[in-house]
A = this chain, B = another copy of it.
Amino acid sequence: MLLPVFFNDMVDDYWHLRQHVQLWDVSVERQVSIKGKDTARLVQMMTPRDISKCQIKQCYYAPLCDEFGGIVNDPIILKLAEDHFWLSIADSDVLLWAKGLAYGLKLDVMIEEPYVNPLAVQGPKSDALMAKIFGDTVTKLRFFWFDYFQYKNHPFLIARSGWSKQGGFEIYMDNQDLAHDLWQHIMRVGQEFNIRQGCPHAIERVESGLLSYGNDMTLEHNPFEARLDKYVTLQHDTMSLSQSALRDIQHQGVSQRIEAIFIDGEKLSGLRYRWDIKNKHDVICGYVTSMAYSLLFQSNIALAMISATATYDDLYVTTTDGDRKITVSPNFPFDLPSKS
């Protein structure tokens, strides 16, 4: 499955998303449905985050990790019932991993990919628009909670979530017959809010420090390297199959970590492969994982995996357009660098 990169142009789409409201077809967010007696046990094995407090109708962002602590995926977990979860996944196949684990561990679960195609409503005018379609109660949803809202007598699962930092909702479209109808209805009602169709935005998500699985983190990385520490529970024993490895990694300390960086100079050509980051002795000590020309900062910005032993004040990056000095943002993701 493919996902569009822009509709009008990157700059126009960007400001529109930050000022108005967009409707995104994010069908690429597939659901892995796990149902049955051992569901909570299996999900807890897959993630290092303690999910025992997760309530029905709550969403948990949670890295999934293998027994070496490597990140398999970073889905949003939706708890539909005590014995039924959806994992709304990023770009890797969680389904087969879950099936393998369940078979090997003889767990009583049914695992499948239901025909659910999420629609995201994103941007500052999302609440006003959604209230007109589903009623005011939809705006009462707290961040990372979901509930069911009627449209043409079908209850749609709607969460306050989405892959931008501009606010909004995700509608888990499970009704093929009403999909086109609801899309048209949202676009029609949205006219007064200057709605447009859109898609996750590469500049906005890098500025916001939203990590992209497969780019900024992979199976080769652990959650500490990806700054997902707060989603890793180590204090008390969970059933997580990565807990032991992650305790060891935390004890030893990580050798690299994702950082938000500014790259000096004119606007750069797009990132087509991983650019090396080097120190003043020309020793490689990291690489760029995502890059964008930030409209907010009027600067090239990037996410980069940088060695823990690197001295941050003498680094440069070898780009397609030549070598450029970089500045590591003191806080993650981005603060404007101090002018002192």
Query: Which chain A residues have a beta carbon within 8 Å of chain B's beta carbons?
Result: 66-67, 72, 92-94, 96-106, 241
Contact = CB atoms under 8 A, between A and B. Distances in A.
Residue among A98, A104, A241 facing the most chain B CB atoms (10 A cut-off): A104
Contacts of A94: 96
23 contacts: A66-B99, A66-B103, A67-B103, A72-B96, A92-B93, A92-B96, A93-B93, A93-B96, A94-B96, A96-B97, A96-B100, A97-B97, A97-B99, A100-B100, A100-B103, A100-B104, A101-B101, A101-B103, A101-B104, A103-B104, A103-B241, A104-B105, A104-B106
- Chain A at the B interface: SS class: helix
Given A96-B100, A100-B102, 6 more contacts: A92-B93, A93-B96, A96-B97, A97-B97, A98-B100, A100-B104
Contacts of A98: 100
What's the number of copies of this chain in the assembled complex? 2
Contacts of A102: 100, 104
Contacts of A96: 72, 92-94, 96-97, 100
Nearest to A46: B100
A276 to B, nearest CB: 15
A237 to B, nearest CB: 18
Contacts of A100: 96-104
Contacts of A103: 66-67, 100-101, 104, 241
